Structure 1
Amino acid sequence: MAARRIAQSSINWAALAERVPPNQKANLAAFKSMSDKYLRSVLVNPETPPKIDWAFYQKNVPIAGMVEKFQKAYEALQIPYPVDTLTSQIEGQEKQVREEIATFIKDSENRIADYQKHVAALKALLPFDQMTMEDYRDSFPEHAMDPINRPTFWPHSPEDQYTDAPEEKAHH
C-alpha cells in the first residue's frame, strides 16, 4: 500500500476554533502549533528518497563485494506503511454520535413545542394578580384548595396532612 503525500493540513482550524470553549483555546493553539510543526517537518523531506549511484560506489570503494552487499540489502529493505485500523471505528462512532444528535434534536424540538403550548396556555389565563380564588380553582384544579372534596389541616402543606394510607414499613 503506497502512502499518499500530505500537501496540507485537512483540519479546518477556524471551524474547530469556533467550537472550542474559551478555557480550552490555549490547548487548541498548542495542538495547532504541534500539528503545523509536524506538517512542516514532513514537507521538508522529498516525496521519494534520492537515487543512489551504485556504479559510482563500485568504482570508488576498494573492498570487493561490499557495494553489492549494501545494494542487495538496500533494495530488499521494505518499510511497511502502517495499516489503517482505526478509521472504520472512528466512522462508526461518528455515525452513532450523529444518530444520537439527531435523536436529541428531535426530542428537543418536541419539548420546545410542548413548552410553547404550555406558555401559550399560561398567557391565555388571567394575570395572577387579577384572579380570584374561584378563577384559580377553575384554572388549576389539581393545585387549588378544595375544602369539600379534599379538606386539609392548617398549615395546609402536604407533609402536615393526615392520610388514611398506612405508612410503608421498612423490610429487613
Structure 2
Amino acid sequence: MAKRFTQRTVNWLELEKRVPPEQKTNFYVFKGKSDVYLQRVLANPAEMPKINWDTYRKLIPDKKIVDNLKSDLEKYKVPYPEDTLTSKIEEQWKALQPEIEKFCAEQDKEIEKATKELNIIKALPKFEDMTMEMYYDLYPDEALDPVNRPTFWPHNPEEQLGYQTPEQKAMKKGGGH
C-alpha cells in the first residue's frame, strides 16, 4: 500500500526565502493549491471503509454473487509504482557532497578575505577628513609623488613623457614594417 502523508513535508518558509520577488505570486498560488490538496487528502480516512458483506448477503438472494464479488475485490490490488529513483538520487547526493564541501570552504575563504578588506576600509578615516599626506602614507604606490615620480597634469598615462600607444609598443616588439 502507498505511504500516506499526514503532515507537510515541504518547509514552505525556507522555500519562500529562495523564491525571487517576481515569482512570489506564482509561489503563493502553488502553495495554496498544495494546501487545498493536503486538506482534501486529510479529509478522507487513511484506510478504505470496510465492507459489511453480511448486509449484502441478506439483501441479495443469490449468495454466490456476493462471495464472488468479495473474492474478486480481495484479489484486486491497485498497482503502485515502485520507488527506484530515491536510491539513485541519494548516490548522486553522496557523490556531490565532497564538491559541495570544497565549494563551501573556498567561499568561506573568499568571505574571510572580503571581510578583512572591508574591515580595512572601515578603519580608514572619512574621505572628507583625509589629507594628501594621509593618502600617501596609506597608499604609497597610488598617491602622487612629485619628488620620486613627477607627472604632468592631468596625471594620466597618456599625458606623460615617454608614453607609447599600444600600437607603438607592438611595432617596437614586432620589429615594425
> How does the TM-score come out when normalised to structure 2?
0.65
State the match for 1:65 in structure 2: 64
Residue 126 of structure 1, aligned match among 140, 148, 158: 140
User: For 1:87-131, what per-residue CA distance to the aligned partner results, in whole angstroms no more than 9, with x for missing partners?
Assistant: 2233344445544433223223444566658x97xx853273433
State the match for 2:124 in structure 1: none
State the match for 2:166 in structure 1: 158
Do the aligned partners of residues 17 and 127 (structure 1) sit closer, same or farther apart at CA in structure 2, a change above 3 Å counting? same
Q: In 2, are the aligned partners of 1:153 and 1:160 still within 8 Å (CA)?
A: no
Q: Which structure is higher in RCO with an 8 Å CA cutoff and minimum separation 6?
A: 1
One-letter amino acid matched to 1:125 = Y
SS of residue in 2 equivalent to 1:128 = coil
Do the aligned partners of residues 4 and 61 (structure 1) sit closer, same or farther apart at CA in structure 2, a change above 3 Å counting? same
Identity %: 34
> How does the TM-score come out when normalised to structure 1?
0.67
Shift of 1:5: 2.8
Give the number of the structure whose residues are more often helix, by fraction. 2
d(CA) in 2 for partners of 1:114 and 1:135? 31
Shift of 1:53: 1.2
State the match for 2:88 in structure 1: 89
State the match for 1:141 in structure 2: none
Count, aligned residues: 150
d(CA) in 2 for partners of 1:41 and 1:68? 33
User: For 1:56-91, what per-residue CA distance to the aligned partner results, in whole angstroms no more than 9, with x for missing partners?
Assistant: 111211235211110110111112433112222333
SS of residue in 1 equivalent to 2:172 = coil
Shift of 1:133: 7.8
Do the aligned partners of residues 48 and 157 (structure 1) sit closer, same or farther apart at CA in structure 2, a change above 3 Å counting? same
